[in-house]
Amino acid sequence: LHEMVLLRVQKRLAASVLKCGKRKIWLDPNETATIANANSRQQIVKLHQDGLIIRKPAVVHSRARALRHKEARRKGRHTGPGKRKGTANARMPTKVVWIRRQRVLRRLLRKYREAKKIDRHLYHELYMKSKGNVFKNKRVMMEFIHKRKAEQARSKLLQDQAEARRAKVKAARQRREERVRAKHEELLASFTAEDTKKKEGKKEKKQKDGKN
C-alpha cells in the first residue's frame, strides 16, 4: 500500500502523457523502484517506451449476444404476450400504419402519372379513393387500375366500332341518295328529251300542214 501511494504521481503523469484515465494505466509491479524515481513527463515517456508503463486496452463489451437476440426477434421469437408491455396501438400506432400506407399509395400514383400510365383525371379519382380507405395495399390499387384501364379500352373499342358502323351506314346512305338522284336526273333527262322530240314532231307537222 505504501508503494502504491508513492506511485500516485507517476500514475497521474502517465495518464496525462498517454491521454487516458488513471484506471487505464498499468505500472509494472516488479519495477516499482524504477518507476518511483520518475518525476517528469520525459521520464514517464521513456518508461512507456521501455514497457514498464502500459496503457491498458479498452474493455470489450461484446454485442454478439445482443445481435443474436435481435436476429431472433426479426424472425418473430421473444415477442409473445409475456414480452409485451404496451397496448397494440402503443407498440405500432394505427396512425403510423396509415401514414405509411398513404405514402406508398401516393408514391405509386405519382409514378404512374409521370409514366403516362394514368391520366390526371384517373389520378385524382384514385387519390381521393385511397384517402377514403378504399385500397388496403398497393396490390389492390394496381388491380383496380388494371381493371379500370381494361374497361376504358373496351369502351373505347366499342365506341370506335359504333363510330365505324355509323360512318359505314352514312356512306351507304350517301351512295344510295346519289344513285337515286342520278336515276331521278336520268329519268328527268329522258322525259325532257321525249318532250323536246314531241314538240319538234308537232312543229314539223304544223309546218307540213301549212305548206299543204
The rounded distance, in Å, linking the Cα atoms of 110 and 85 is: 39
pTM over 0.85: no
Tracing cell 366499342 back to the chain, one arrives at: 158
DSSP string across 75-131: TTTT-SGGG--S-HHHHS-HHHHHHHHHHHHHHHHHHHHHTTSS-HHHHHHHHHHHH
Cα 145 from chain centre: 15
pLDDT at 212: 65
Nearest Cα to Cα of residue 128 among 109, 156, 153, 149: 109
Cα 95 from chain centre: 20
pLDDT at 2: 43
Per-residue pLDDT of the chain in tens (212 residues, 90 and over written 9): 444 447 999 999 999 999 999 999 999 999 999 999 999 999 999 999 999 999 999 999 999 999 999 999 999 999 999 999 999 999 999 999 999 999 999 999 999 999 999 999 999 999 999 999 999 999 999 999 999 999 999 999 999 999 999 999 999 999 999 999 988 888 888 888 888 888 787 777 777 777 66
